Amino acid sequence: MLKIKEFNKIIVANWKLNGSNDFLEAYFEKLALKDIDSDICGIICPPITYFQNCYSKLNSLYLGAQDCSKFKDGAYTGEISASMLRENNCIFCIVGHSERRQVFKENNEDIKIKAAQLLDEKIVPIICIGETLEQKKMHKTHEVLKEQVINSLPPNSSKESVVIAYEPIWAIGTGITPTLEEINNIHKYLKKDIKEIEEYKLLYGGSVNPKNASDIMSLENVDGVLVGGSSLKADQFSEILKA
């Protein structure tokens, strides 16, 4: 398993349901991978059909998936298992993204099973948590995050093997982010007050772009970022990797 503790920052590109063969060629031609510090862990999560093509172009970056099946094998049409991901050079896998939770009705239990399967295959799960705007307005953020994280963590989880990503749902794809102080305080709460994830690597996600990435990543309790929209533009993601 990759030693995640050795990295200073972890920066994830979540391409979601985007890409094509042409897109991929143009993207990697433009992506500037030269001056990235060796203690930065850069990860590209494309749709699985582009895994092999991406893998051949990654250089020092790592390959990640956006989801995996909670089943190991069998009659589950359309599913892709953790062991299949491992056989295809997958090192990280996002689980419990808010789009999976909301659109595909995944719950904490599903996410916990997926994360356990990934750990069995020596793939690092990136477990996403985040509150809705309504929950934030009702001052329920801490409560919601604690409930999600504790119930999504698999029993074989450790700070060496699992990454957590805090992604406020209202900040995803909206261009709106919490203030730097809010991000740092929520990360501090997660890292210091929830014993189960004490000292885990903790990423921030939601409208990260080249303009705000450096400030967000310089916060004491932020170990990296999970990037959606801006990760689809090679020049913007290159800037974030160097932020």
Choose, from 121, 167, 182, 239, the residue flagged as catalytic: 167
Dihedral angle of Cα 103, 107, 113, 116, to the nearest 10 degrees:
90
| Structural contact between residues 170 and 136, judged by C-beta atoms closer than 8 angstroms | yes
Considering only CA atoms, which of 185, 194, 195 is closest in space to residue 222? 185
- Token output for 99: 């789009």
67 touches ligand PGA by CB under 6 A? no
Near ligand PGA by CB under 6 A, which window of 57-65, 145-153, 196-204, 222-230? 222-230
The helix/strand/coil state of 135 is: helix
173 touches ligand PGA by CB under 6 A? yes
Q: Which is nearer to ligand PGA, 56 or 179 (CB)?
A: 179
Cα separation, 79 vs 237, whole angstroms = 29
Q: Which is nearer to ligand PGA, 108 or 230 (CB)?
A: 230
Cα separation, 228 vs 235, whole angstroms = 14
Size of the site for ligand PGA (CB under 6 A): 13
69 touches ligand PGA by CB under 6 A? no
Instruction: List the one residue from 142, 229, 233, 239 that touches ligand PGA (CB under 6 A).
Output: 229
Return the ∠ at Cα 177 (arms to 30 and 181), rounded to 5°: 115
Q: Closest approach of Cβ 231 to ligand PGA, in Å?
A: 7
**97 is a catalytic site residue:** yes
Near ligand PGA by CB under 6 A, which window of 1-9, 76-84, 155-163, 227-235? 227-235
Q: Which is nearer to ligand PGA, 198 or 235 (CB)?
A: 235
178 touches ligand PGA by CB under 6 A? no
Angle between helices 21-30 and 234-241 (to 10 degrees): 40
Q: Closest approach of Cβ 75 to ligand PGA, in Å?
A: 31
14 touches ligand PGA by CB under 6 A? yes
Choose, from 6, 97, 131, 139, the residue flagged as catalytic: 97
Considering only CA atoms, which of 123, 131, 219 is closest in space to residue 179? 219
Instruction: List the one residue from 48, 65, 172, 216 that touches ligand PGA (CB under 6 A).
Output: 172
Helices (H), the chain: 21-30, 51-55, 82-87, 98-103, 108-120, 133-137, 141-152, 180-188, 213-217, 234-241
Q: Note the residues at the interface with ligand PGA (CB under 6 A).
A: 14, 167, 172-173, 205-208, 226-230
Active site residues: 97, 167
